[in-house]
Structures are given as C-alpha cells and as structure tokens.
Amino acid sequence: MSTNLKTKIFVAGHRGMVGSAILRQLKQLGYSDLKTRTHEELDLINQEATEKFFESERPDQVYLAAAMVGGIVANNTYPADFIYRNLMIQANVIHQSWRFGVKKLLFIASSCAYPCSTDQPIKEQALLSGKLELTSEPFAVAKIAGIKMCESYNRQYRVSHGIDFRSVVPPTLYGPGDNYNLENSHVIPALIRKFHEAKINKSPSVSIWGSGKPLREFMYVDDMAKLVVSIMNLSAETFNAQTKPQLGQLNIGCGTDISIADLAKIISRIIGFNGEIKFDQGKPDGVHKKLLDSRRLREICNFDLRNLDVGIKNSYKDFLSSEAASSTKCNFG
C-alpha cells in the first residue's frame, strides 16, 4: 500500500455523498495534497475546461466519484440527462487523466450495471450478460462505459504509459451528504424523509412505492470510502490477481441484503413513526433481488462494516441537520 501522503490526488465530485466520504477518509489518513473543484468552478462535462484543469494541476491519482445520480423517479424523469452527463464526465476525466500523466485512477461504478436477471449473488462475470433494468438503463449504460473505458485504457496504455485505472462496483450507498428529495432520492433517504414528515405531521400512515418485497444491499458511504482508498493503494499485482484484462471491475458489497418492507420497519422505528406502513403495488418494484458477490474483495481486503441500525441513525442525524432535504434538483456531485 502507498505510504506517500504527499501524493497529489484529485477527488472528482467531492461535494456529492460518495466524493465527500472519500475526501474525509483521505484527510483522516493524512493526505495533504488534495485537489477539489466545485461544479461551478469546473464543469467536467466541458471537454476544454477539463483539459485545462488536468494540464494545470497534473494530479498523480484520481478518484472519479462525480456523477448524476438518483432513484427510480429521477431515472424515469431524466433519462437523457443521466446518460449524457455521466458519459461526458467519465470520458473527459478518464481521457485527460491519461493525457496528463495520472498513474492511478479509481472509477466508482454501480450495481445497476449488472443485468436485471442473473444468478445471485451477482459475480463480476455477469457484466454484459443480459438485459438491464429498464428504469435505470441510461445510467447503467453510462456506468458500463466507464468500466470499459478504464479497461480499454489499461489494455492500450498500461505498458507504454504506466497507468493503472481501476473500477469498483458498490451496492446502494447511504449516509452523510445523501439526497433527501423525494422526487429523485434513493430508498433509504426517501424513507427517512417520509417517516420524519409523517411523524411531525402526525399522519396515520405512510405509503411506499411497490410491494415491499424486493431485496436490496446497502452500504454506509464512509465504509465504502475506506474500502476504495484501500483498493486504490493495493499493488497492481494484488489487484490484478482478482481481475482480468477485460473483466476489470471489483465488487465491493457487504454480503447481506434486506427487503424494502423490513427496511421500512427499521427506519420507522428509529425515527419514531408509529402509524401504518402501506405499499403502493401500482408503482414499480425494480429488480427483485440485487446482491453482489464480493468474495474477490475479501481475498485482498480485511474490513468491518457498521450495521444498518447504526448507519441509519447516523443518516437521520444528517437529515435533521442538512439543507439537502429542501433540494429540488438531482444530486450532481
């Protein structure tokens, strides 16, 4: 693992939930040369602006966490934005990283990249083996492209330029810095807001999309950040032993899942909502089960994850103190 705390590192998307967690972890470890830009300071969709940034700063490492993200409603409402923005960000950052001497890059993909119908838990080999879930297809296609860009640049330039571009696939993430807007958030922040508002308004019930039967895997974002920094710092020999030239992504799941119905019960209990939980079965469920096979990760990393109760309690505290609860835009970290 790298011990050079003066490595110049660019965290792309540092104000989003994922990027801010990575930045916190790097600071806690003592890294001192950390480069960040807000979306207003640097629009990564803009090829010329991205080129100028890399030409000027020339970072040694890049964490590519910048992305347009959201839940089912957002993916249904803004499919063109999801595919265009994410493709452009990834293409610009990965290409300019290669052009201006970045030696190591870590791309944060998504479990949406895997087919909606595949063996569970989902192995890395499932990528491109079947159809994607329709509501998240544009986002998923962009994430697949990011994985394949990293693989392709490694294939063509690893030897000549000494690059090492890696991809990881986390499950659904939650925690500090999450997006709590009901129109475009993921399930945990959406349920936190719904149950909180129902408690404050003394509502007799809360309605939740779908049947409550789908099973999902969740990881606290700061746990994810510890993992990705560890993975970035692994030697090439160690990382490559768990991947292949054209199957380069690594799953970083926690190994357990939970039904949406049981998740709702946990969140309602933590928040203190005592009313009825109703399920609107006229709304889509999405994929029934999505659990990552992370055995390859466990071959190379030892890690402990906080349990869901603790993570949700921390998330609720974040919600109560966060201005993000009033946001009406997609999370564009």
In this prediction, residue 185 carries a pLDDT of 80
pTM value > 0.85: yes
Calculate mean pLDDT across residues 250-259.
94
Query: Using an 8 Å Cβ cutoff, are 289 and 214 in contact?
Result: yes
pLDDT at residue 84 is higher than 80: yes
pLDDT of 246 reads: 85
| Per-residue pLDDT at 169 exceeds 50 | yes
Task: State residue 309's pLDDT score.
Answer: 95
Q: Which CATH architecture has domain 9-332?
A: 3-Layer(aba) Sandwich (3.40)
- % of the chain beyond a pLDDT of 70: 96
8 Å CB contact between 195 and 325: no
Q: Is residue 275 scored above 90 in pLDDT?
A: yes
State the average pLDDT over residues 176-194: 89
Mean pLDDT, the chain, rounded, equals 92
Strand ranges, E, within the chain: 9-12, 34-35, 61-64, 68-69, 104-108, 164-169, 172-174, 205-209, 215-216, 218-220, 249-251, 258-259, 276-280, 289-290, 331-332
Name the nearest CA neighbour of 105 among 163, 178, 177: 163
Give the pLDDT band of residue 9 (cuts 50, 70, 90).
Answer: very high
How is residue 24 written in tokens?
């916190």
Contact residues for 185 (Cβ-Cβ < 8 A; gap 6+): 70, 71, 74, 178, 179, 193, 331
For residue 323, what pLDDT is reported? Answer: 55
What pLDDT sits at residue 104?
98
